[in-house]
Amino acid sequence: MKVPILARIVPLGYAGRLRVGAFIALVAPSVVASLASPSASVAGQDDDELRQRQHAVDTRIDEAATEVHEISTELVRAQRLLDRAEADLSAARSSLASLQRQVAQAELDDQQMQVQLQNAQIRLQNARSDLASGRRDVRASRGSLASYAVSNYQSGGIGLSSLEVAFDSQSAEEAVDSFQDIDTVVNKESMALQELQAQEVLLALTQDRVLETKRSVRESRLLAAEHLANKLTLQAEAAQAEQAVALQVQTLSAEQDRVAAAKLNELKRLGKLERERDRIEQMLLILAERRAERQAQRQSERQAQRQSERQSERDATPPATPQDVQPGAPPAPVDDSGILAYPGESTSVTSLYGMRLHPILKVTKLHDGLDLAAACGSEVYAAADGRVLDAYFNSGYGNRIIIDHGYVAGVSLATSYNHMNSLLVRPGEPVTKGQLIGYAGTTGYSTGCHMHFMVYVNGATVDPLRWL
């Protein structure tokens, strides 16, 4: 059942109504940084991941722009640039950290290679010393054997000396002792020959060791040079990465300033939007109060007239018996649904009426209308019979039309059509339900073509779906 008009006006008075701006919630971005590598493949993966994150941010903003219309395009763009700057800085810092770790590892590897090279050079020096010593030993052994061979040759050889010893000996015991002395000499020479052979084998091995150590030193030098070059390259890349981080910090600071300025403008725009809504609500509230006063006065006059007529009838008619008195039936409740028609061909709702949390400003605001899908230039129709209360441009609502539908279903009813490209009616002009009044657009505080449809009951905005 509808409540009396005055009872509905009081709680919706101008001083007590909520002052909130119109907008739709936009998804907040999130950026998670990942480690980058200086290698081409890893760097490519980082670039791909960064592009994916940026694409995800752009997709969320674009999807929100499809749903959210009463928000500043400047703020949306500034926030997108800020999100990208944050992602770029995060990637740059990750890349720098990775390069710094690799530079530290390269310096450690370079130090280790220098130690290995020094050890290899020491081994080569020792091997060369051993080779020189072995060569001296071999030359000495060969010299001793050569002297023995010459002496033996000059004395006629071992066999002849043995015979001479036998003939010259005075006794058999003396001959045996002489032969044993000769055997001892021969054994010593034989051992000297074997030692020479062993020294020559060892000398050959030492020569091989020298050659192998030379190769090891050469390889160590090449590896040390490669590590040094890699370290220098990484240091240069790290220096560039530091410059990139510094540049990204400057870019981020600039984008933060841009977002701060856009937020300030957003708050100013929301303030203008609220003041405009308050102005219209106040105007419609005054209209509703005057209409309620006239309605109450007319009802009072009709009630007085009916009482006068009933009194005249009672004076002219005998009093009725108790059986003749019929109690009056209670008034049927009035259904306000379906009273208004959709203002366009589409009935697709892109955003509902109600409170929203602004994703960037982090403040709760009222989305004071129903957003309906509408292509740019699509036709807009009057939702019901009425008279154009106003048709004008506002920086927040864009081109808008306000239609007063009079006293409907026990309330003062009005509708508003916003962000239109063009208007076909003027203030004071009567309109009929379904009449073409203009074309949809994206003027004013809007990020895309749509129809922001508003319903006022007794001067205050209500959910339009209750009346469609």
Cα–Cα dist 324/82, whole Å: 81
Higher pLDDT among residues 380 and 56, named by residue: 380
Closest among 52, 131, 70 to 450, alpha carbons compared: 70
Average pLDDT over residues 30-46: 42
**Side chain identity, residue 245:** V
Tokens of 186: 């021969």
Tokens 């490669």 appear where? 226
Average pLDDT over residues 57-74: 58
Whether pLDDT at 119 is above 50? yes
Whether pLDDT at 159 is above 70? no
Residue 70 class from Cβ within 10 Å (0-12 exposed, 13-18 middle, 19+ buried)? Answer: buried
Q: Residue 25 — pLDDT band, cuts 50, 70, 90? A: very low
CA–CA distances in Å: residue 266 to residues 273, 280, 352, 353, 361: 10, 21, 21, 20, 8
Average pLDDT, rounded, for the chain: 77
Tell me the Cα Rg of the chain: 53
Q: Which long-range contacts (CB under 8 A, 24 or more apart) does 126-133 make?
A: 127/206, 127/209, 127/210, 127/213, 128/210, 130/206, 130/209, 131/203, 131/206, 131/207, 131/209, 131/210
Higher pLDDT among residues 346 and 209, named by residue: 346
Q: Residue 167 — pLDDT band, cuts 50, 70, 90? A: low
400 and 416 Cβ atoms separated by less than 8 Å = yes
Closest among 385, 384, 362, 363 to 468, alpha carbons compared: 384
Could you name the CATH architecture of 273-309+337-466? Distorted Sandwich (2.70)
Q: What is the pLDDT of residue 39?
A: 42
Cα–Cα dist 82/293, whole Å: 55
Higher pLDDT among residues 386 and 16, named by residue: 386
Cα–Cα dist 81/256, whole Å: 9
Q: If DSSP codes are grouped into helix, strand and coil, which group holds residue 202?
A: helix
Residue 362 class from Cβ within 10 Å (0-12 exposed, 13-18 middle, 19+ buried)? Answer: exposed
Whether pLDDT at 118 is above 80? yes
Whether pLDDT at 375 is above 90? yes
Q: What is the pLDDT of residue 321?
A: 46
Average pLDDT over residues 293-305: 83
% pLDDT > 70, the chain: 72
178 and 229 Cβ atoms separated by less than 8 Å = no
Tokens of 330: 């209670």
When mean pLDDT is compared across 13-17, 77-81, 147-151, the lowest value belongs to 13-17
Q: Residue 376 — pLDDT band, cuts 50, 70, 90? A: very high
Tens digits of residue pLDDT in 448-461: 899 999 999 999 99
347 and 408 Cβ atoms separated by less than 8 Å = no
Helices and strands: H and E segment counts in the chain: 5, 12
Cα–Cα dist 413/404, whole Å: 6
Q: Residue 441 — pLDDT band, cuts 50, 70, 90? A: very high
Q: Residue 322 — pLDDT band, cuts 50, 70, 90? A: very low
When mean pLDDT is compared across 78-92, 196-210, 424-438, the lowest value belongs to 196-210
CA–CA distances in Å: residue 302 to residues 291, 332, 333: 16, 20, 21
Tokens of 422: 């063009």
Tens digits of residue pLDDT in 75-109: 888 888 888 888 988 888 898 899 889 999 988 88
Q: Residue 319 — pLDDT band, cuts 50, 70, 90? A: low
419 and 351 Cβ atoms separated by less than 8 Å = no
Whether pLDDT at 279 is above 70? yes
Whether pLDDT at 207 is above 60? yes
Higher pLDDT among residues 13 and 113, named by residue: 113
Tokens of 51: 């592009």
Whether pLDDT at 12 is above 60? no
Average pLDDT over residues 23-38: 34
Per DSSP, 446 falls in state -
Per DSSP, 416 falls in state E
Tokens of 109: 């590897």
Whether pLDDT at 28 is above 60? no
Tens digits of residue pLDDT in 214-260: 888 888 888 888 888 888 998 898 898 889 899 989 998 998 899 89
Task: Please work out, in degrees rounded to the nearest 5, the angle formed at the alpha carbon of residue 50 by the alpha carbons of 48 and 54.
Answer: 115
Q: What is the pLDDT of residue 416?
A: 98
134 and 203 Cβ atoms separated by less than 8 Å = yes
Cα–Cα dist 87/31, whole Å: 6
Average pLDDT over residues 369-392: 96
Q: Residue 369 — pLDDT band, cuts 50, 70, 90? A: very high
Q: What pTM does this model have?
A: 0.54
Q: Residue 330 — pLDDT band, cuts 50, 70, 90? A: very low
Q: What is the pLDDT of residue 19?
A: 33
